Structure 1
């Protein structure tokens, strides 16, 4: 039976561990803000603009994360237990929760990641969404969690164990050997990367053809012939683009942001190896915790007698620290680039919709045992299958929200 015991491989001080997790959160917020990176927008654009470019970037992100973490395990740098330790119990709740999450996030205007970095950039609607998520977490805790916990404990449309039981190398080869991890890593990651690249190129070709039909082709050829750049001009252009990115004059491209986020996840995986927080397991749980902290100011202690909250600790841990630093990173990027501004939607009904969507987000992420970051993205890096379930459920939820908004909102 594979081990379920974690042993730290790097003997860092706690100050260094917290510092690196803070840095990781800062990078996540900074890069996501500069790249305007949103899982919901990537999915919404499929159904509204028939564009797959951003969704392709998501698949590349999942593939790169799986490839990096899998190779670290396959070559013996990180023990396999660090990859599968936090694989959750799969069950009905991941599918239902991801549908609710996708529906609510599309209504509210942002996934858990974009909700936080946009809130830190001055978007009032996302402040309201965050508050709605706090309330939704409480509604879930008292109304749904006891029933869900019962089904999990009794295996009702649910597995009764996580960890290596849901680890794809173990499921496929009944082994966690380096070779089984290596083969599984390639089987999972490479198709995701290639499909993501294909979807991006397909979208670019489609829009290029569409644009060419709207313009005068002889004029376009003349313009092209007059603007053939030399290698020297290309070098100057590349240097200028890099300078503009560094000086925050230009936002990051989608693929650049994708690479930064994948590297950020691998940083956390390496630093947290041997600990119970070795992935970007952030954003959704901490929304509930913030609500818990606020009530503690009024001497209301949910962790003493309230379902779900009594499994959490009223302390700031690396996960909460990462969320705080994510917001600081996003604020810093938006402020230094001149993007920061308090933005109130002209249509005030968007605030009410944002609150309702936020409540659904809070319910959905807690039911699914994680959000688009803490479950879907990281589970691809864990070589599990919960992330696949979440991906299809979230796509369905976003699709339903798009149809509702087109018809009634």
Structure 2
């Protein structure tokens, strides 16, 4: 089955706590992706340690080939029950999605996960099993392209309790919210950001509980190839272009010299669209072959700033809901956030004297530093990124 598991998670600490009592572990193996969310009893350091123990045990055992049953049995033996509250020291959800499409789900005292398909809640059949006195719910199901799965800690369900909402947000209300935004947001990060910021608002920026969201979107792979900057040796121009054009997906060229190389190798003139420029971002170019042509370092630096704001939930609308804004940085940011799962950079290492002292090592090039930081943010967003240097 050819699909991409788009995954994003974020957490919010209970007010006045330096550590989060929730913990998420993601393990990517050859044949599956394993997601573990644990919620430690209470908050702060103790809860963080208990949740971390749970996720590490589960993640490590499943990665090494242990069965779900063996994993849960080990967790059940390792984590005792609080004698005062008669509650487990950590609740958890384990979701294993195989590359074949078969998913296994285990839930223990955590809010039920949200599963949306074709803009409707999907009801999953669950079997109850008692393991060392603990009631475990198990499920098996097939995922499909377009499915949206969201796992939350109880901090989401309790958001607003005693304040904006007397009884908290409640599971059904969160489902209604997700039914709307799973349709609007193409990415897992978009759903996570929306849900987290709503929780912050409901808590009036003073969270009464640790709050965690894990979002998963089953997507068709989308590839973006980016040619940025001329190669160190001019004789490599043709080789770089051949490699760049041989790749699948959307084609983007960043930089004036790179655009000139592309124009020469493609045998077409690239027209500069002056009306697309702004005070901050130079105009884009129009090509019959390439999907997007932008200026280099300035545009890429703006893209980096946009990505940083989006990753840190400073800007939620970036790349999705803004209208009438068509500068190069916006278009490239939108493409990287929403319209790709894989990014392939083809980076020339020639030094531009206008941006860099040619006597300094090329590793200190402003362009290379910006691209490396963009790569880091894209990987934070769950994208698969490769970089080839010339």
Query: More relative contact order in 1 or in 2 (CA 8 Å, sep 6+)?
Result: 1
Q: Flag the structure with higher helix content.
A: 1
**TM category, shorter:** under 0.3
Give TM-score scaled by structure 2 length. 0.23
Q: Flag the structure with higher strand content.
A: 2
